[in-house]
Amino acid sequence: MEDRRPKLVILYATQTGNALDAAERVAREAERRGCPVMLLSIDEYDVSSLPHEDTIIFVVSTTGQGDTPDSMKVFWKFLLQRNLSKHWLEGVRYAVFGLGDSGYQKYNFVSKKLDKRLSDLGAMAIVEKGLGDDQHPSGYEAALDPWMSSLWSMLNQINEKFFPQGPDFLIPDMKLIDQPKIHITYHSVDKVDSQSSPNSDLKWIEMQIERARSMSPGKFTNDKTRPNCFLKLIQNQRLTRAECGKDVRHFEFEFVSSTIEYKVGDILEVLPSQNQAAVDSFIQRCNLDPDAFITVHPKEMNNHLLHTHTSANVPIKLKTFVELTMDVASAPPRRYFFEVMSYFATAPHEKEKLQYFASPEGRDDLYQYNQKERRSVLEVLEDFPSVQMPFEWLVQLVPPLKTRAFSISSSPIAHSNQVHLTVSVVSWMTPFKRKRSGLCSTWLAKLDPEQSIYIPAWFQKGALSPPPPSLPLILVGPGTGCAPFCGFVEERAIQNESSATAPVLFFFGCRNEDGDFLYRDFWLSHSQNGGVLSEAKGGGLFVAFSRDQPQKVYVQHKVRENSRKIWNLLTEGAAIYIAGSSTKMPSDVFLAFEDIVSKEGGLPRESAVRWLRTLEKAGRYHVEAWS
């Protein structure tokens, strides 16, 4: 009887696409060694089948403050069932690779929890869990390369049938490079329905967005293809002084299609428009016909290496498809892009450079050239003029054009039919002194409210749940972290008109009082004359200007200064809400609260930490942080 070759099952849980990229890399490397692969998003896998698997690889990311990606929630809930015994996964071998950011307090929390739970249920780890770190100079790949090397070696020891010719044998790449995962069909114009329509026809714009993004292999979730609604910009106001070195804007939008009900603390995602000149340059550089009509489909493959939603069968203009789905001039390409480019390079020196970039030895140099410099796909292609990649490969490998998420800074009670945002216009200099700017924030900043531009948008529940009027609040929001709290304070002020509301303490931080004190008049008005932030109401406004004196003063210092007031509110059942940059602020503020609980509550440090963790579990310690 013929022995069946074992298939490697790889499950990924991703929020932004990074874990899928890493999982696809693991799958490719396994295929190159002759091992059949089944790659699935974790929400496409029947978790009750786990005990029947022989070997399973997990690639999972950690989002926000230690949260599981949305696609993993059902899977994780199943694993936590109490009726699962410690022998439930006996005989199953597994490996876990996590993607996280050590700037966050709960670094790689999901992968650590998953690894422990699988082990508790009787599964056997093949290798020590891998922990990819966004903060590493080479990103998560610095940990992925050695982890994969150990994985192949251990799999080969377990069962030589995984790799019939050994873990170091590789199938010649040209055999694999001829097989992009998608297929593009070109349609003659006379067979295509007329697609011309005035730009103001929202139904037509919505149809184009849905058609393009449902065809794309760009890892969009189902609810990111068709917009929830369209918005029209009615105000674009700069909040910071020109000389302060920061450009922060207040945007006000009106609903122009359906009005969406949202709550304070919710998130708005918008689909940015790309620079038309950049899109045209990309199309020209790749020798594409912008007016061709195409449909894009996944190739039927046994290994499920590509998953898209049911593709729309209606053709779309190639240029429209590129504009709406492919980030050609903002996001840097992945390492695999350089690898595939190397096969299509005809100039020897370009081929050699690209092969080096794609190798483990060249990983750090690639990181300096690509991610550190934030080179776009268009710039990379222009740096290697001999490369002509087929459009199928470009569609597969160019980073997807993603929606950008912002905390909503308005209350729907205060502004019916409107939604407001507070946006920092992102720009920076690379190590080689090249000016870079954020795609979405720069585009928004240039929009003129006088022009009728309709912005596709999606509303999402945020990490900051709306508080009832009777709940005392301690809000910490330095910089644009104040955005959600504008909505909180607006709403509480309206609630206060009809009945008494609980006190609110708000801690804000910026560099200078004159330069970037965002919404200064708004906060001050609510801190006076019996407003919801006034001392008369038991509240308070506390502002840290970090650079207005010789020594730096941050929000955590202001929090500590108000130790007694904070402790009194906490003992009355207050909830803590923190929003802002993910780098050091959330952990510095947590330490300040730790000090307060320890000092005012007379508790040892470990007990103070446990006290705050209990607060978190009870839904009274919320953090929304972004990088």
Q: Which residues are annotated as a binding site for NADP(+)?
A: 480, 546-547, 552-556, 588
Question: What six digits make up the tokens of 252?
Answer: 């006000």
- Which residues sit opposite 37 in a β-bridge? 8
The answer to whether 186 touches 392, Cβ cutoff 8 Å, is no
Lookup result for tokens 């114009």: 189
407's tokens: 């905390």
Cα–Cα distance between 429 and 109 in angstroms, integer?
A: 32
Residue 178 DSSP symbol: T
Can you say which residues are annotated as belonging to the binding site for FAD? 374, 404-407, 438-441, 626
Instruction: Give the separation between CA 143 and CA 139, rounded to whole angstroms.
Output: 8
3-state DSSP helix/strand/coil % of the chain, to nearest 5: 40, 20, 40
- Asked if residues 17 and 99 have their Cβ atoms less than 8 Å apart, the reply is no
How many whole angstroms separate alpha carbon 246 and alpha carbon 249? 10
DSSP 80: T
Token digits of residue 305? 């290496």
- From CA 573, how far away is CA 180, in angstroms rounded? 57
Q: Which residues are documented as binding site for FMN?
A: 14-19, 61-64, 134
445 and 247 in contact (C-beta within 8 Å)? yes
Other CB atoms closer than 10 Å to residue 466's CB: what's the count? Answer: 17
Q: Where are the alpha helices (DSSP H) in 93-243?
A: 109-120, 141-158, 173-177, 202-215
Match 């369209």 to its residue by tokens.
230
Q: Which residues are known binding-site members?
A: 14-19, 61-64, 134, 374, 404-407, 438-441, 480, 546-547, 552-556, 588, 626
- Using a 10 angstrom Cβ sphere, with 0-12 exposed, 13-18 middle and 19 or more buried, the burial of residue 415 is middle
Exposure string for 515-552, b = 16+ CB within 10 A, e = fewer: bbbbbeeebeebbeeebbbbeebbbbbbbbbbeeeeee
- Residue 453, classed as helix, strand or coil, is coil
Strand partners, 249: 238, 423
Torsion angle, CA of 272/277/283/285, rounded to 10 degrees?
Answer: -130
Q: What is the C-alpha separation between 58 and 594, in angstroms, rounded?
A: 35
User: In b/e form, how buried is each residue of 41-60, taking b as 16+ CB within 10 angstroms?
Assistant: bbbebeeeebeebebbbbbb
